[in-house]
Amino acid sequence: MAAVRAIAVSLVAAALAVTIRRDNPVFALMIAVSAALFLMWTAIEPLRELTDELFTLAQEANLQAGVITSVLKCVAIGILARFGSDILRDSGMSAASSSVEVLGVAAGLWSALPLLRMCLEAIRSGL
Amino acid sequence: MKKIIVLFLLCFFLTPQAYAEEVPDSARPILGDIESGDVLDPAAALRSMGQRMLDGLTEPLAQAMKNASAVLICAVLASLGDVLSLGKTGSGAARLAGVLGITAAAGSGIGGIIGSLAALISDIRAYSAALLPTVASAAAASGAPASASANLAMATLCMNAVLAAAEKFIIPLVTVMVAVATASAAFDGALRGVFDMLSRIARWLVIGLSTAFTAAIGVTKVISAAADEAAVKAARAALTTLVPVVGRTISDASEAVAGSFAIVKNTSGVFGILVVIALAYTPIVSAAANYLGYKIASSLAQIVAGQEITRLISDIGTAIGYAAATAAVSALALFIGVAGFIGTVT
């Protein structure tokens, strides 16, 4: 039901934004950003349930919490960076959009560093 | 007279204990309370060992499935990152995190498996140093002096070569294979050729070591068998002709003594083989279960994850498979070495 509501809201927002873009581009952008934020908000609950389930499975599989947290952080950074980058591109700020992409990659790599350390330790202990 | 009786009793009671202490502790869970004397009824000994082996199968399988599911969770997360960022921003970072997550998740499992296989190789080295001379001495006393000494020399040499190659080269190579597989998956399969080359080297080494060991033991046995027969005939002839009056009697009695030593040789040899099986069972079954688990996880990951992630999981399984094969070859080498003594012609 939440998905249907989200799709309906996105369609209405798209129609509104397209209609008023010629007369009031700023307001159209605000509508697009608001719709995107609403959709992200809607997606938070299922994503939270998914991550909870993955954490439960990881516990059952004796997977270290640090591993799954780092991977999740990286995934979340990827999603947010894409979201920010697309909004900036929609508002015509390509340079800022590229910067957000670079920032997203850098933050993702930074959050993957503990994993790299774990891998190197595992390899070093095997040699 | 009293001193002699006490000495005899001490020898009688302390010798089995000293022999039992040579059995590594890691063999006891499968071997149970079987001692060298119990192998005179091999069916009962094997039955009780078989039951313990079946009972000991559950835990390694469960652990292997846990390791595989941990890796699978990381693969699902990595593919989730790929899908949600639609192959654009952050996709590379998400995949890198997924790849590193898979290796980190498998890391503790791989470390445990490699540690247990290295401990197995170390136990085999220690036990072979006690077992081979014991069985060789009994074989020499049972009427095969030439083949026993030749077999002992060759078995010791080959065992040392096999164990050194396994410990110093193949087991570290397996870790390098995991590292290369991770790097290859992180950089779009750029190091696939290197992984394939390492994989081929590991395969050639495992096959080469087992073939060389079997060939060396076989050739030594064939060459020295004829010398045994001649040596025993010459000794009997010398006893009969050179010792006056009782020469023939001593010669006949020596046959009975040789027969007794043959029983000792067979008993200690069969017990040694049982110990080798008990030693090798748990680490090799655990490694084999992990190999199977990672291959299954790789097949399941194909549903959601990309090619590189799937390959990485499969490659980790392959590396564990080579480690297991190396340990199995080491155990098999001792098995064949001891079996060579048991099969010595008397």
Contact B174 A126 (CB under 8 A): yes
pLDDT value at residue B260: 67
pLDDT value at residue B12: 42
CA distance B32 to B28: 5
Q: Is residue A59 part of a domain?
A: no
pLDDT value at residue B287: 92
pLDDT band at B187 (very low <50, low <70, confident <90, very high): confident
Q: Are residues A71 and A41 in the same domain?
A: no
**What is the distance in angstroms between the Cα of A53 and the nearest Cα belonging to chain B?**
10
Tell whether A36 lies on the interface with B, counting CB pairs under 8 A.
no
Sign of the Cα torsion B236, B237, B242, B243 reads positive
- Residue type at position B160: N
pLDDT, tens only, B212-223: 888 887 777 777
Contact list, B92 vs chain A (CB under 8 Å)? 105, 108
Contacts within 8 Å (CB) and 24+ apart, B295-298: B296/B68, B297/B68, B297/B69, B297/B71, B297/B72, B297/B75
Q: Is residue A57 part of a domain?
A: no
Q: Are residues A81 and A117 in the same domain?
A: yes
pLDDT at B346 over 60: no
CA distance B4 to A126: 54
How many alpha carbons lie under 13 Å from residue B276 in its C-beta half-sphere? 27
Contact list, B179 vs chain A (CB under 8 Å)? 119, 123
CA distance A16 to A10: 10
pLDDT band at B11 (very low <50, low <70, confident <90, very high): very low
8 A C-beta contact, residue B179 and residue B99: no
pLDDT, tens only, A76-107: 888 888 888 888 888 888 888 888 888 888 88
8 A C-beta contact, residue B139 and residue B147: yes
pLDDT at B6 over 60: no
Of A58, A82, A126, the CB nearest to B70: A58
- Domain span at residue A76 reads 64-127
Tell whether B288 lies on the interface with A, counting CB pairs under 8 A.
no
Other Cβ atoms within 10 Å of A15 Cβ, number: 11
Contact list, B90 vs chain A (CB under 8 Å)? 74, 77-79, 81-82, 101, 104-105, 108
pLDDT value at residue B314: 92
pLDDT band at B228 (very low <50, low <70, confident <90, very high): low
pLDDT band at B247 (very low <50, low <70, confident <90, very high): low
Q: Are residues A39 and A79 in the same domain?
A: no
pLDDT value at residue B136: 81
Q: Is residue A41 part of a domain?
A: yes
Q: How many residues belong to chain A? A: 127
CA distance B225 to B344: 8
Q: Is residue A51 part of a domain?
A: no
Contact list, A127 vs chain B (CB under 8 Å)? 172, 175-176
Contact list, A78 vs chain B (CB under 8 Å)? 81, 84-85, 89-91, 93-94
Among chain B residues, the shortest Cα distance to A111 is held by B97
CA distance A115 to A109: 10
- Tell me how many residue pairs between chain A and chain B have CB atoms under 8 A apart: 149
Tell whether B103 lies on the interface with A, counting CB pairs under 8 A.
yes
Say how many domains are in chain A: 2
pLDDT band at B318 (very low <50, low <70, confident <90, very high): very high
pLDDT, tens only, B48-99: 888 888 888 888 888 888 888 888 888 888 787 777 665 554 556 777 888 8
pLDDT, tens only, A4-47: 888 888 899 889 888 888 888 888 888 888 888 888 888 888 88
Q: Are residues A79 and A124 in the same domain?
A: yes
Q: Are residues A23 and A73 in the same domain?
A: no
What is the percent of chain B where pLDDT is above 70?
A: 76
**What is the distance in angstroms between the Cα of A25 and the nearest Cα belonging to chain B?**
26
Q: Is residue A1 part of a domain?
A: yes
pLDDT, tens only, B271-294: 888 888 888 888 999 999 999 999
- Quote the longest CA-to-CA distance of chain B: 101
Q: Is residue A32 part of a domain?
A: yes
Nearest to B77 by CA among A51, A42, A63: A51
pLDDT value at residue B21: 47
Q: Are residues A72 and A38 in the same domain?
A: no
What is the percent of chain A where pLDDT is above 90?
A: 0
pLDDT value at residue B200: 92
pLDDT value at residue B8: 43
CA distance B60 to B103: 20
Q: Is residue A50 part of a domain?
A: no
Please tell me whether the interface predicted TM-score (ipTM) of this complex is above 0.90: no
Using alpha carbons only, what angle is made at residue A59 by residues A58 and A65, rounded to the nearest 5 degrees?
75
pLDDT value at residue B75: 86
3-class DSSP assignment, residue B56: coil
pLDDT, tens only, A36-72: 888 888 888 888 888 888 888 888 887 887 888 888 8
Average pLDDT over chain B, rounded to an integer:
78
Q: Are residues A39 and A74 in the same domain?
A: no
Domain coordinates in residue numbering, chain B: 55-342
